[in-house]
Amino acid sequence: MITDHITVWIVIVALAIGSFLIRFSFLGIVGDRPMPEWLLRHLRYTPVAVLPGLVAPLVLWPAATGGVTDPARLGAALMTLSVGYFSRNVLAAILSGAATLYGLLYLLG
Amino acid sequence: MTSSNPKRHFLRGVRDALPFILVIVPFAALFGVVATEAGLNVVEVMSFSVLVIAGAAQFTAVQLMTENAPTIIVILTALAVNLRMAMYSASLTPYLGKAPMWKRALVAYFMVDQAYALSQIKFEMERDLTVSERFAYYIGTVAPLAPLWYGASYVGAVAGAQVPPSLALDFALPITFLAMIAPALRTLAHVAAATTSVVLALLMAWMPYGSGLLVAAIGAMIVGAQVELLMTRKAGQ
Confidence band (pLDDT; 50, 70, 90) for B56? confident
What kind and span of H or E run contains B210? none
- Residues of B whose CB is below 8 A from A19: 52-54, 57, 79, 82, 85
Any domain includes A69: yes
Rounded to the nearest angstrom, the minimum Cα separation between A37 and chain B is 10
Residue B94 predicted with pLDDT over 80: yes
Confidence band (pLDDT; 50, 70, 90) for A31? low
Any domain includes A14: no
- Check residue A34 and report its DSSP letter: P
Q: What is the DSSP string of A42-106?
A: HHTTHHHHHHHHHHHHHHHS-GGGTT---HHHHHHHHHHHHHHHHH--HHHHHHHHHHHHHHHHH
Tell me how many domains chain A contains: 1
pLDDT digits (tens, 9 = 90+) for B184-234: 898 999 999 999 999 999 999 888 666 788 889 889 999 999 999 999 999
A99 CB within 8 Å of a chain B CB: no
- The whole domain housing A97 covers 56-108
Angle (deg, nearest 10), helices B131-160 and B21-38: 40
**Whole-angstrom distance, CA of residue A75 vs CA of residue A53:** 18
The helix/strand/coil state of B98 is coil
**Nearest Cα residue in chain B from A9:** B44
Any domain includes A70: yes
**Class of residue B109 by CB neighbours under 10 A (exposed 0-12, middle 13-18, buried 19+):** middle
Burial B116-152 (b: 16+ CB within 10 A, else e): bebbeebbeeeeebeeebbbbbbbbbbbbbbebbeeb
**Whole-angstrom distance, CA of residue B70 vs CA of residue A14:** 14
Burial A38-73 (b: 16+ CB within 10 A, else e): eeebbbbbbbbbbbbbbbbbbbbbbeeeeeeebebb
Any domain includes A74: yes
B188 CB within 8 Å of a chain A CB: no
- CB A16 to CB B51 under 8 A? yes
pLDDT digits (tens, 9 = 90+) for B134-184: 999 999 999 999 999 999 999 999 987 677 777 777 787 788 889 888 988
Q: What is the ipTM of this complex?
A: 0.84
Any domain includes A2: no
- CB A27 to CB B89 under 8 A? yes
Any domain includes A39: no
- CB A1 to CB B92 under 8 A? no
- Residues of B whose CB is below 8 A from A108: none
How many interchain CB pairs under 8 A, A with B?
289
Mean pLDDT of chain B: 89
Any domain includes A33: no
pLDDT at A9: 97
Any domain includes A50: no
Confidence band (pLDDT; 50, 70, 90) for B1? very low
Rounded to the nearest angstrom, the minimum Cα separation between A21 and chain B is 8
